[in-house]
Amino acid sequence: MHLTGAWILIIFSLLATAAMLLLLHLTKIGFLVHQTIPDRPRRRLFLASVSFFITFAGVRLLVRSITHHVGPFGWVMVDGRHIHHLVWGILLLLLVGYCTLAEVGTGNSPTSIFLSRLLSILYGVGAALTLDEFALWLNLQDVYWSRQGRESIDAVILFGAILAAGAWGAPLFSALNRNNPFKRLR
């Protein structure tokens, strides 16, 4: 069975999103995130940053697997045309932008909070899918694996994702450090 990159991206995105939502809703991590990052916009930024980093890493692994013929993966092809993953990222960003304009997820009900979290995660996914192919839309040609297209962009994107997660999640990381059970053993 040959799975296209689109199906792998969809399955990966759905599983990662579901895992993040379950962690936020059903575990102590969700409680800690809510308590240590009380400002809702910062929590949304933190979730977007984490999902951006996870998606970026997953897409890099998927593309590397396809180009090196590892696993049953293949390019997304429609009528002989390769559909790049930035297309899916742009569509996600358009959807999230529309929902934001319609003020989806801005209330205080449990459904609204869930939608707020979901939109934050989807924004990070869409941004990662789009920015991963930044060199393609900058140069208007497929320079994805060339030195020109990858070195500086990979460094900037990874650094930016880690920096953003650290900045917006600083209160959470401080709380985790204070509650570290291994510190008490010393």
184 in a structural domain? no
pLDDT at 71: 67
pTM for this structure? 0.71
Between the CA of residue 121 and those of 17, 64, 83, 116, 170, what are the distances in Å? 7, 24, 23, 9, 18
Q: What is the pLDDT of residues 43-79, one digit of tens each?
A: 888 888 888 888 888 888 877 777 777 766 666 667 7
Number of domains making up the chain: 1
Look at residue 183 and tell me whether its pLDDT is greater than 70. no
180 in a structural domain? no
181 in a structural domain? no
Retrieve residue 69's tokens: 């013929």
Q: Which domain holds residue 27?
A: 3-173
73 in a structural domain? yes
87 in a structural domain? yes
178 in a structural domain? no
Distance CA 132, CA 90 (A): 12
**Residue at token pair 């979901």:** 118
pLDDT at 1: 42
DSSP string, the chain: --EEHHHHHHHHHHHHHHHHHHHHHHSHHHHHHHHH--SHHHHHHHHHHHHHHHHHHHHHHHHHHHHTT-SSEE--EETTEE--HHHHHHHHHHHHHHHHHTTTT-SSSHHHHHHHHHHHHHHHHHHHHHHTTHHHHHHTS--TTSHHHHHHHHHHHHHHHHHHHHHHTHHHHHHHHHT-HHHHT-
Look at residue 113 and tell me whether its pLDDT is greater than 90. no
95 in a structural domain? yes
96 in a structural domain? yes
